Amino acid sequence: MRIAVTGSSGLIGSALVRSLRTDGHEAVRLVRSEPSAPDEVRWDPDRQYVDTAGLIGCDAVVHLAGAGVGDHRWTAAYKKQIRESRVLGTAAIAEAVASMGTPPRVLISGSGVNFYGDTGDRAVDEKDPPGEGFLAEVCQAWEEATGAAEEAGVRTAHVRTGLVVARHGGAWGRLFPLYKAGLGGRLGNGRQYWSFIALHDHIAALRHIIDTPELSGPVNLTGPGPITNREVNAAMARVLRRPGLFAVPAPVLKAVLGEFADDVLGSFRVRPAKLLDSGFAFAFPEIDGAIRAALGR
């Protein structure tokens, strides 16, 4: 297969490209700078430009690009960047795909479990409505931006991703150094649910969606068993054999992170109902196994 990927330098995108190439598939990387390698295709989401000639013959497009939600403090300007990097980029990809005489069979577009807002102790799946809050609104607009591709008849999946357990990159990549230094601990009261997924399973799930014609619309990319932050802390301490005694009170998180702290302290108890119903098998469904996989153990 020939598959185009945006965000190919990020945690998930780079792992997906490696996985595809290992299995003999052709991965095309969409880049914002002038292409300097045969596998690169130019795109400019700010100008709504995609070199569609480079997408000819692609079986799928996996769109993962977007500004990191935790990379900077949430000023008004950065919140605008978070939203526009997702909505404008997605619209550009969707319109490019729709304009092609023979478009890819499937468009997989990123989203997040933040779509559901803070769910507290209530478990939700793809049938549940959107929640409230800045990131919930961003996810809704993000998913709606694929409209052109859907109207053109391209199977479109919105992958609502949870917290990816990986040693380097993403939110979890910031936890490992803290625990290794003996500084790990719960965040806030620790009762908030974390919907985690091992990086290995995330990549396998993306490829499963590409290969499964029945999967479209929202698809939760989370492990089958969300756990609380307290349980995450205990697992990290257990697997890394370090204490997890520290705790960061909610007021401190809010002082340091500003508005973003509400999402760090928020509870997202999200189940991957569509993945499970489609027969997808998780290699690392439990948190200890996901952590060990991230460490290469």
**pLDDT (tens digit per residue) in 204-226:** 999 999 999 999 999 999 999 99
pLDDT for 29 beyond 90: yes
Residue 251: what pLDDT? 87
Residue recorded with tokens 């991230």: 294
What is the reported pLDDT for 4? 98
pLDDT of residue 85: 93
Residue type, position 23, single letter: D
The chain-wide mean pLDDT, for the chain, equals: 94
| Chain centroid to CA 149 | 20
Q: What is the pLDDT of residue 71?
A: 82
199-208 burial string, b = 16+ CB within 10 Å, else e?
A: bbbbbbbbbb
Region of poorest pLDDT, from 7-21, 74-88, 173-187, 241-255: 241-255
Mean pLDDT on 255-284:
91
Q: What is the pLDDT of residues 134-160, one digit of tens each?
A: 999 999 999 999 999 999 999 999 999
Three-state helix/strand/coil letters over 208-262: HHHHCCCCCEEEEECCCCCEEHHHHHHHHHHHHCCCCCEEECHHHHHHHHHHHHH
Domain ranges of the chain: 2-295
31-40, 115-124, 194-203: which has the minimum mean pLDDT?
31-40
**Which residues fall within 8 angstroms of residue 181, CB to CB, at 6 or more apart?**
242
pTM, full prediction: 0.95
pLDDT for res 25: 98
User: Which pLDDT value is given to residue 254?
Assistant: 82
Residue 239 pLDDT? 96
Does domain 2-295 match CATH 3.40.50.720?
yes
Q: Is the pLDDT of residue 257 over 80?
A: no
Whole-angstrom distance, CA of residue 160 vs CA of residue 142 = 11
